[in-house]
Amino acid sequence: MSETRFGAGTSRAEALKLLVERFRRSELDDPSREARLTLCAAANLPQAALIAEPDSLLGGAAARLEEYAVRRLSGEPLSKIVGRREFWGLALSISPDVLDPRPETETIVEAAVALFAGRRQERLCVLDLGVGSGALLCALLREFLNARGLGVDISAAAAEVARRNTLACDLDGRAEIRVGSWTDGVVGPFDLIVSNPPYVRTSEVDSLAREVRHFDPRLALDGGIDGLDAYRAIFPQAARLLAPDGWLLVEIDAGQAGAVLAIAAKAGFLERSTHRDLAGRERVVAARSLRTALGQRNHERDNRHERVIAPD
Ligand SMILES: C[S@@+](CC[C@H](N)C(=O)[O-])C[C@H]1O[C@@H](n2cnc3c(N)ncnc32)[C@H](O)[C@@H]1O
């Protein structure tokens, strides 16, 4: 079926109507919303402008709207088409080389802010393993104003995007981005280590939604046969790199909490908990520095001993 192309003389209202019709014949979930967002992105308009001035013409935006429509119909997320994504209130650049940062990943930032509530002004050291676009690192450095951060990614192209974002967020003076595998060559201690690692089972990657399987890098998704490879690598390494009183926070997928808590226990973390996302799903596993937890136990044991022997 031949499609009506948009022209410079097409009005916003006509364009919206044509776009909704085209999107309705596709797999897109909410064609009206998708059409509004795509039109506004292509014409660089706030949504209110579609209501306030429906008769204004597309002009030079027509060709861009046609390109965006074709790409969106092929399943490419709008964020990837425009190369931008908002995360924790920050406008980040994204590219085909990085995972499109997800709103649920903000649960790690929320958990960090809560766990470090009394230490917001300290010169914290933060490590982000699998930094991708830099979303987590940038958000954390925005929250902890005196913190410094290191982001590591195995993908040089992803690391480049993270560098661009730290620069654009004016955080480059406090952030370093390196290419490498997890903590190889990294020297601690760190007060906070975060990671949103690849956690999809290899056998399930090809059945993910096409927005994900075709447009997020496989390196960001494939977590090995049981989806847990990255956690098995990260927990023992983080245990060595955490400062006393430090926290490791990792994102998990639905149903992985039990297995990841067990990996944390095996790596020696005595204090472990989960944090839920806005949908109420267990989304983050938090584990406190082995040395702190041990130190705390020893401290309590010594105090008990002192109390026992004090009356004598
Ligand atoms: C799920 S993405 C997370 C990206 C970003 N932190 C976020 O939350 O949006 C996982 C990232 O881990 C990186 N990665 C995969 N294996 C890695 C490894 N062995 N060492 C370091 N990074 C790795 C991928 O390249 C990808 O950027």
Q: Mind spelling out the 3-state secondary structure of 179-238?
A: ECCCCCCCCCCEEEEEECCCCECHHHHCCCCHHHHCCCCHHHCECCCCCCHHHHHHHHHH
- Cα of 20 vs centre of ligand 1, distance in Å, is 36
CA 242 to CA 192: how far, in whole Å?
A: 7
Integer-rounded Cα radius of gyration of the chain:
23
Q: What are phi and psi of 244, to 5 degrees?
A: -55, 140
Could you give the angle at which helices 12-24 and 31-43 cross, rounded to 10 degrees? 140
Q: What is the pLDDT along the chain (312 residues), one digit of tens a residue?
A: 446 689 999 999 999 999 999 999 987 889 999 999 999 999 999 999 999 999 999 999 999 999 999 999 999 999 999 999 999 999 999 999 999 999 999 999 999 999 999 999 999 999 999 999 999 999 999 999 999 999 999 999 999 999 999 999 999 899 999 999 999 999 989 999 999 999 999 999 999 999 999 999 999 999 999 999 999 999 999 999 999 989 999 999 999 999 999 999 999 998 999 999 999 999 999 999 866 555 544 444 433 333 332 222
Q: Are 101 and 162 a contacting pair, CB within 8 Å? A: no
Q: Are 178 and 128 in contact (CB under 8 A)?
A: no
For ligand 1, the distance from its centroid to the CA atom of residue 40, given in whole angstroms, is: 31
| Amino acid at the residue 148 | R
Q: Which parts of the chain fold into alpha helices (H)?
A: 12-24, 31-43, 48-52, 61-73, 78-82, 106-115, 135-143, 156-168, 202-205, 210-213, 229-241, 257-266, 290-309
Residues with CB under 6 A from ligand 1: 98-99, 101, 105, 129-133, 135-136, 152-155, 158, 181-182, 196-198, 219-220
Substitution site in 127, 131, 192 for ligand 1 pocket (most atoms within 8 Å of beta carbon):
131
* Alpha-carbon distances, residue 208 vs 202, 211, 254, 302 (angstroms): 11, 8, 14, 53
Which of 84, 196, 222, 228 has most ligand 1 atoms within 8 Å of CB, for mutation?
A: 196
